[in-house]
Chains A and B, each alone.
Chain A
Amino acid sequence: MSEAATGWAGAPAESIWSGPEKKAARRSRSPVTGESDLLKAVLIGVTVVFLSLFLILPLAIVFTEAFSKGVAAYWGALISPDARSAIGLTLTVAAIAVPANIMFGLAAAWAIAKFHFPGKSFLITLIDLPFSVSPVVAGLMFVLLFGAHGLLGPWLKAHDLEIIFAVPGIVLATIFVTFPFVARELIALMEDQGTGDEETALSLGASGFSTFMRVTLPNIKWALLYGVLLCNARAMGEFGAVSVVSGHIRGKTNTMPLHVEILYNEYNTAAAFAVASLLALLALITLVLKTLLETRFNDALPGKARGH
C-alpha cells in the first residue's frame, strides 16, 4: 500500500538461500570485533560460572532436597490431599487464564496491528502495565476492588458472590499479571506482517472468519504458541499477586507456589522442595520448548526475524 512496501525490492527472491548466507555473515562478524582469544575465554568463563552459581546450582539443590528423604517421601508429598488440591487449583487457574489471555491477546493484537485509531500507542503502553506493576500491588488492587471493604465488596456480598479469598480472585489476579505475554508477542509480529495477506484473502472472496482461520492464524501460530508457553509458565508460577488475593486456605485456595511456601514455613523442607520440583520441571520444559521454537521457527517469531 505504502511506498515502504517496496522494501521488498531488496529482499532476495530465493530465501531458501538466506539460511546459509545468514550463518556465514554471523561467522564472519567475530573477526571484525577483533577481541583476543584470552578475553573471549574470560568472558565465556565468567558467564558460565555466573550461570552455574545462580541458575544451575539452585535448580540442582531443588531436586536434591526434594529427594533428600527418599523417593517414597517425595511421592508422598506430591499425593498428599493438600498438594493434590494445590496442583489441581494451579492447573485450573492456568486452564482459565491462558485461554482468556489468548482471546485477549488476539483481540488486542488484531486491533493494534491492523487498524489505525487515536490512542493506539497509549493502549500499547497499557498492555505492558502488568510488567511494570509489582505483583503484590496488582493483588492489592483486586482486594481494594472486590474485598469485603472494597469498592464492590458490599454489592458482591449482597449477591452472595465471593471473589477475594476464593478461586475467582486467584484467576483474576493471574490473568492480570500474565496478560502481556500473548499480546506483546502477537502485536510485534502482526505489525510486522501488515494487512496485505488479509486483504488479499478478502479480495479473493474469503469471509472475515475464514480469513482469520486460514491466513492470519497460520501466519501467527508459532508466535502464539511462544506467547502461550511463557504465559502458562507465569500463570502456574505466579506468587505475589495470587498470595495477596488467595487467603491461603489449605485445600481450597492454595496454588502450588503458595503451598510450597506454607510447607517451607512449617520446616517441611523435603515436601516443600518436592512440590517445588514440579514447578522447576515446568520451567525446564518451558525452556526446552521455547528454545525449540526459537531455533526451528525463528522466522515466524517477531523481532527475531531478519528479512520479514
Chain B
Amino acid sequence: MQIRAQDIVKSFPGARRAALEGVSLNVGSGELVALLGPSGGGKTTLLRIIAGLDLPDSGKVFFGDEDASEKSVQDRRVGFVFQNYALFKHLTVEDNVGFGLDVRNRAQRPPKAEIRRRAHELLDLVQLSGLEKRRPSQLSGGQRQRVALARALAVEPRVLLLDEPFGALDAKVRRELRSWLRELHTRTGHTTIFVTHDQDEALELADRVAVLNGGHIEQIGTPDEIYDHPATAFVHEFIGESSAISAQLREGEVFLGDHRLDLPKANRLATSNNGEGRLFVRPQDILIGEEGPGALQAEVLSVRRSGPTRRAEIALPYDRSSVEVDAPASVALQPGAFVPVRFLRGAFFLKADAAGAAVHARG
C-alpha cells in the first residue's frame, strides 16, 4: 500500500513554532522508510498523523488512492508500535497479540481457536514461540518489542508505523533487532515507516531516509544519497562525521582566506553564487602528508587511534579551525608538526541560504 502525506501542517496549542510546517512524504508500496532527525524534529507527530492518532491542521494523508484524512484510526488499519511498546499488562503475550482480532465486531471476529492459531503463528514469526502464556512483565525489553510488533501485524495492517522501535533497548539488542527487522520486512513486505534518531539504524535499515528537522524535511533519499550528497548543511552535519570550515565561494571556487582549495570541479554551481559559507569535509576525504594542488600546511594537534585507522586533529592556517582527518598508518604525525593536507571532496553551503548553493566536489 502506497502512503502519501501531503503538505502536513500541525501546531500544538501553546507551542512557539509549528511541530510540522508543511511536510510531504511519499512511501512506495513495500518500502521501508526511516524518519530520521533530532529529538523534537516532528517525527512522532508525523507518524501519529499518518496513523490517525492526531489530526493535522491542514494537509492530507492518502492510503493508495484513497483519501484517509477523514478516517478514524480504527478504520485506517495501521500497525502502530509505540516507543514504550504499550503492551497490555493484564493480558498474556498471546492475548496481547490476538487483541486486534478479538475486539472485532461479531461478524468479522474469527473464532477463538483461530485467533489463538494466528497469535501463535505471529509469535513464531517474531521468534517468541513458547512464551505465549507469559505476562509482559516477565519479558525482556527486546521480547516486549517483538510482542508489540506481532500484535500490530495481527490486524493485517496496510502500513506498519514504528516509533523509535528500539529506542529503549541497549546497543547490543538494538543491533540484533535491526537486522532481524530488515529480514522480517523482506519476508512480509509490509510498507513500513519507522522513526529513529539513530542515523546508523536509519542508514542500515531503510530503503529511503527522510531527514526531519524543525518541522520540515531537509532531504529524502536513499542512504547513499543522504550520506554522499547531503542536500543541506544540516544534513551534512547531522549524518556521518564531518568538520565544518568557514570558507568563501568565488567564481565557483572555494577559498580559505586567499588560498584556493582546488576542489574538483564536478557538480559546481553557478559562479554567481559568491559569498561566505561553510565547507563540510569528512575525515576520510582529506589526504594528509602528501603535497599536491591546493595543499595547505596544517598543524597536527593530536593523533588517536580510532578503530582500524588513526584519527588526527589538525588546525588549518588562517583561522586555525580544527579539522578531523583519517590518517594512514604510513604517515608519521607528531603533534606540533606541520603537514600538507589536501581536500579531495567537500560540500560548500552559502551562509545566506543553508539549503541553497551546494558544491559537491567529487574526487
Contacts and interface: CB of A to CB of B under 8 A. Distances in A.
Interface of A: 1-3, 5-6, 8-9, 11, 13-16, 116, 196-197, 199-207, 210, 214-215, 218-219
Indicate the size class of the contact surface on chain B: 35 or more
Interface in B233-262: none
Contacts of B140: 13-14
Contacts of A201: 88, 99, 103
Contact of A203 (B78, B137, B164): B78
Contact of B168 (A8, A205, A206, A210): A8
Contact of B82 (A200, A205, A206, A218): A200
29 contacts: A5-B82, A5-B84, A6-B84, A6-B164, A6-B168, A8-B84, A9-B167, A14-B138, A15-B137, A15-B138, A196-B82, A199-B53, A201-B103, A202-B74, A203-B51, A203-B52, A203-B53, A204-B152, A204-B155, A205-B74, A205-B77, A205-B104, A206-B74, A207-B74, A207-B103, A214-B99, A214-B103, A218-B90, A219-B90
Contacts, number: 92
Nearest to B95: A214
- Shortest beta-carbon contacts, A-B, top 10: A204-B100, A196-B86, A206-B103, A13-B141, A13-B140, A218-B90, A203-B80, A9-B168, A200-B86, A8-B84
Contacts of B164: 6
Contact of A1 (B44, B88, B155): B44
B73 A203 contact: yes
Given A5-B84, A196-B82, A196-B84, A204 B13 contact: no
The secondary structure that dominates the A interface is helix
Nearest to B54: A1
The secondary structure that dominates the B interface is loop
B144 interface: yes
B89 A219 contact: yes
B103 A204 contact: yes
B10 interface: no
A16 B39 CA distance: 32
Given A3-B40, A200-B82, A215 B73 contact: no
Contacts of B73: 199, 202-203
A99 to B, nearest CB: 24
A204 B39 contact: no
A200 B80 contact: yes
A174 B155 CA distance: 47
B184 interface: no
Contact of B86 (A15, A199, A210): A199
